[in-house]
Amino acid sequence: MIFHEVLVVGGGLAGLRAAIEAHDLGSEVAVLSRVHPVRSHSVAAQGGINAALANHPASQDDTPEKHAFDTIKGSDYLADQDAVELLTSEAPTRIFEMEHWGCPFSRLDDGRIAQRPFGGAGYPRTCYAADKTGHALLHTMYEQTLRRGIKVYEEWQVVSLSVADGRCHGVVALDLRTGRLEAIGARAVIFGTGGGGRIYGHSTNNITNTGSGIAIAYMAGVPLKDMEFIQFHPTSLFGNNVLMTEGARGEGGYLRNRLGERFMEKYAPKAMELAPRDITARAIQTEINEGRGFPGGYVHLDLTHLGAAKILERLPAIRDIAINFTGADPITDPIPIQPGQHYFMGGIDTNADGASLVAGFYAAGECACVSVHGANRLGGNSLLETIVFGRLAGRHAGGYVKGQGGEAAGKGAEKALAKTMTETEKRVTWVLEAAGPEDPADLRDELRESMFANVGIFREEKALAVGLDKVRELRARYPKIGIRNRGRKYNLDWARNLELEGQILVAETIAAGALARKESRGSHFRRDYMDRDDASFLRHTVAHLTKDGPRLEYRPVTITKWPPQARTY
Ligand SMILES: Cc1cc2nc3c(=O)[nH]c(=O)nc-3n(C[C@H](O)[C@H](O)[C@H](O)COP(=O)(O)OP(=O)(O)OC[C@H]3O[C@@H](n4cnc5c(N)ncnc54)[C@H](O)[C@@H]3O)c2cc1C
Closest by CA position to 210, among listed 417, 523, 502, 567: 502
From ligand 1's centre to the CA of 382, what distance in Å?
9
Among protein residues, the one with the nearest Cα to ligand 1's atom 9 is 380
From ligand 1's centre to the CA of 161, what distance in Å?
20
Is residue 378 within 8 A of residue 370, CB to CB? The reply is no
- Cα angle vertex 396, ends 1, 64, to 5°? 140
Q: b or e along 496-533 (b: 16 or more beta carbons within 10 Å of the residue's beta carbon)? A: bbbbbbbbbbbbbbbbbbbbebebbbbbbbbeebeebe
Question: CA-CA distance, 117 to 123, in Å (whole number)?
Answer: 6
Tell me the HSE value of 402 on the side-chain side, using a 13 A CA sphere: 13
pLDDT higher than threshold 70 for residue 153: yes
Helix, strand, coil percentages (3-state) for the chain, rounded to 5, are 40, 20, 35
464-to-200, 459, 470, 505 alpha-carbon distances in Å: 14, 7, 10, 16
Predicted TM-score of the model (pTM)? 0.98
Class of residue 294 by CB neighbours under 10 A (exposed 0-12, middle 13-18, buried 19+): middle
Which residues sit with their C-beta closer than 6 Å to ligand 1? 9-15, 32-35, 37, 40-42, 44-49, 133-134, 157-158, 192-195, 204-205, 208-209, 212-213, 243, 245, 343, 365-367, 379-383, 386
Q: Which residues contact 147 (CB under 8 A, 6 or more apart)?
A: none
Q: What is the pLDDT of residue 235?
A: 97
From ligand 1's centre to the CA of 12, what distance in Å?
6
Name the pLDDT band for 267 (thresholds 50, 70, 90). Answer: very high
Question: CA-CA distance, 505 to 501, in Å (whole number)?
Answer: 6
The per-residue DSSP string of 409-477 comes to HHTTHHHHHHHHHHHHHHHHHHHHH-B-SB-HHHHHHHHHHHHHHHSSSSB-HHHHHHHHHHHHHHHHH
Name the pLDDT band for 413 (thresholds 50, 70, 90). Answer: confident
Is residue 91 within 8 A of residue 71, CB to CB? The reply is no
Q: How far apart are the first and last CA of the chain?
A: 56
Catalytic (active site) residue 233 = yes
From ligand 1's centre to the CA of 41, what distance in Å?
4
Length of the chain: 569
Q: What is the mean pLDDT of residues 393-399?
A: 97
Is residue 341 within 8 A of residue 507, CB to CB? The reply is no
The per-residue DSSP string of 254-292 comes to EEE-TT---THHHH-TTTGGGS-HHHHHHHHHHHHHTT-
Q: What is the pLDDT of residue 64?
A: 98
Say which of 233, 256, 314, 459 is annotated catalytic. 233
How confident is the model over 505-546, as pLDDT tens digits?
999 999 999 999 999 999 999 999 999 999 999 999 999 999
Q: What is the pLDDT of residue 410?
A: 64
Q: Which residues pair with 183 in a beta bridge?
A: 172
How confident is the model over 308-330, as pLDDT tens digits?
999 999 999 999 999 999 999 99
CA 49 to chain centre: 14
pLDDT higher than threshold 80 for residue 287: yes
pLDDT higher than threshold 90 for residue 406: no
From ligand 1's centre to the CA of 438, what distance in Å?
31
Number of other CB atoms surrounding residue 272 within 10 Å: 17
Q: What is the mean pLDDT of residues 369-383?
A: 97
**CA-based torsion, 307, 310, 315, 321: positive or negative:** positive
Q: What is the mean pLDDT of residues 278-305?
A: 97
pLDDT higher than threshold 90 for residue 408: no
pLDDT higher than threshold 70 for residue 409: no
Residue in 32, 39, 40, 157 to alter for ligand 1 test, most ligand atoms within 8 A of Cβ: 40
pLDDT higher than threshold 70 for residue 407: no
Question: CA-CA distance, 283 to 285, in Å (whole number)?
Answer: 6
Among protein residues, the one with the nearest Cα to ligand 1's atom 13 is 45
Q: What is the DSSP letter of 63?
A: -
Residue in 381, 383, 386, 500 to alter for ligand 1 test, most ligand atoms within 8 A of Cβ: 383
How confident is the model over 219-245, as pLDDT tens digits?
999 999 999 999 999 999 999 999 999
